[in-house]
Every structure is written in structure tokens, then in C-alpha cells.
Amino acid sequence: MVACADSTSPPATRPPTTVPEATRPSVGTVAVVPDTTDALPAFVAFAVRDADSARVLYRVDATGAATPIFAARDHFTVADRVLPPDGIGDFDHPNSLDVDRDGGLIVSWRNVGEVSKIDPRTGQFVWHLGGPHNEFTFVNDPLNGFSGQHFVRVLPDGDILPYDNGWTHAPYETRVAEYRLDPVARTATLVWQFRHQPAMFTPLLGSVQRLASGDTFIGYGWSGLATEVDPTGAVVWEGTLTTDGTASAQPYRLLKISTLSHYARP
């Protein structure tokens, strides 16, 4: 089963979230994941804060009460925005949120060109990967990093898997890239990638999902194309999502799900 929804959303039975009206999450900028750390029950989510759309990361407890734990404006400035197009009206644009194996939060900042790790207890950065604050050296990567990325996932072995939209590649090219990070040596080693043939470029949107089988499911959001590949990069199947039988749809994310009744890794 393939869905255009995020299967990591919180349970429908959770009490209403008491985030102030001015800072409630807006469509297209919401990222919610279960909070797996013992000290931080419930879940965490981004919401809009001010006129420049700088985001605040909230911890939402089991009662629905929300407490801010990280404010983008305290760590980034408008000058940190390095990615086009200019029509996207926020300078930070967090577009995915995942939980690392130690409970740290892995955030993709699309307009800053950065993936970073945040300590949810202190609200401070642990490291910056990519963008103007990059602290890592990219190793064995012919394209030297990612840009305009979406839906960055933490894999069971700790590797990170971003959907690399590829705004800084010459020529433009979208791919999926898996990196193994050494936070001590500050290296990000490319251990796997998939580059579509013929080459594709999706300027916006997109998602990637590592399946239990080891296959990788890719949603080329802007084009409506869905591709599943095996660990060798061979295409298992591919198809295009349409809205009326002819025009390609542009889903924000495409995800495989096993069931609608509960979350189970597909």
C-alpha cells in the first residue's frame, strides 16, 4: 500500500495540543515524530512563530500541553538562507524531523541547506551537516553533499538518508544519498546512493524510505514518480501518480505503509 500521508503522525486519541494560536503548525511545515526518550514523553513538532516564519520546536506532553525547546531565530539569521527559489517565504524551512538512536533530534533545514542534530534537553545543536555552518567533510561523494533536501531519515544502523533535491549540483540532479557520520572525526561518508537514469531534477518536495526488505522507496514529489530500488540500485518497480489519468500529481511525500490500523514498518 502506498499513501500520501505521514504515517508517523501522533495517535488520533491524543488530547488537543495547547500551542498558542499564533504559533500553531501550518500546512506544509508540520513535522511530527514520536519522542522516544525516557525524559521526554509524547512527541515533538515544529510550528510558525513570527512574521519571518522562523520555526519553534515544541515538546508536546501526554496532556497536550506544548513547551518550546528550540527557536530557529535564536540560532539562524536571514543571511543563513542559501537555497533558491526566492518564492519560499521562510528563511529556515524545516521540512523533516526524525529521532536519532540516542534520542537526539535530526532536523532538515531546506533553505539553509543543512541537516542538524539538536539535543532536546538543552535545545542546543550537537552538529551541523551541510550549509553555511557545515562541520563535516564529505567523503567518497562525487557530488560533495546535498542541497534543497527533504525527508531526512535515520536508519536503524545510525546512517542518515536524505532525499537530495540537488539544487547545487551542476547540472541540477536529484538523488537519494546515504551517509555514515563520524561525529568525532567530523566526516560524512557516502555509503550508498541512487541516481535515476535518465537523470531527474525535482526542485521541490520529495521523500525517501528504507524498507524492511532493504529496498528503498523514493517519491519524486514534483514529478509524481514513485520508484522502488533494491540495495544494488536495480529498479524493482516504477510508476507515476496521476490526478485525472493524464496529469502527474505532485505529492509532498509518498510512503509505503503496511496497514491503516497501526504503524508497522513496511
Task: Kindly report the pTM of this predicted structure.
Answer: 0.83
Higher pLDDT, residue 155 or 39: 155
Cα–Cα distance for residue pair 263/113, rounded to 1 Å: 30
Residue 15 contacts residue 265 (beta carbons within 8 Å): no
Residue 29 contacts residue 45 (beta carbons within 8 Å): no
pLDDT for residue 47: 65
Cell of 153: 531519515
Report the SS3 class of residue 221: coil
**pLDDT classification of 8: cutoffs 50, 70, 90:** very low
Cα–Cα distance for residue pair 157/178, rounded to 1 Å: 11
Q: For residue 61, give the DSSP letter.
A: -
Cα–Cα distance for residue pair 266/257, rounded to 1 Å: 5
Task: Note down the domain range covering 123.
Answer: 2-11+93-256
* Residue 204: inside a domain: yes
* Residue 71: inside a domain: no
* Residue 18: inside a domain: no
- What are the pLDDT digits (tens) for 209-226? 999 999 999 999 889 899
* Residue 27: inside a domain: no
Residue 19 has pLDDT above 50, yes or no: no
Residue 4 has pLDDT above 50, yes or no: no
Cell of 36: 522516544
Q: For residue 196, what is the domain's CATH number?
A: 2.120.10.30
* Residue 131: inside a domain: yes
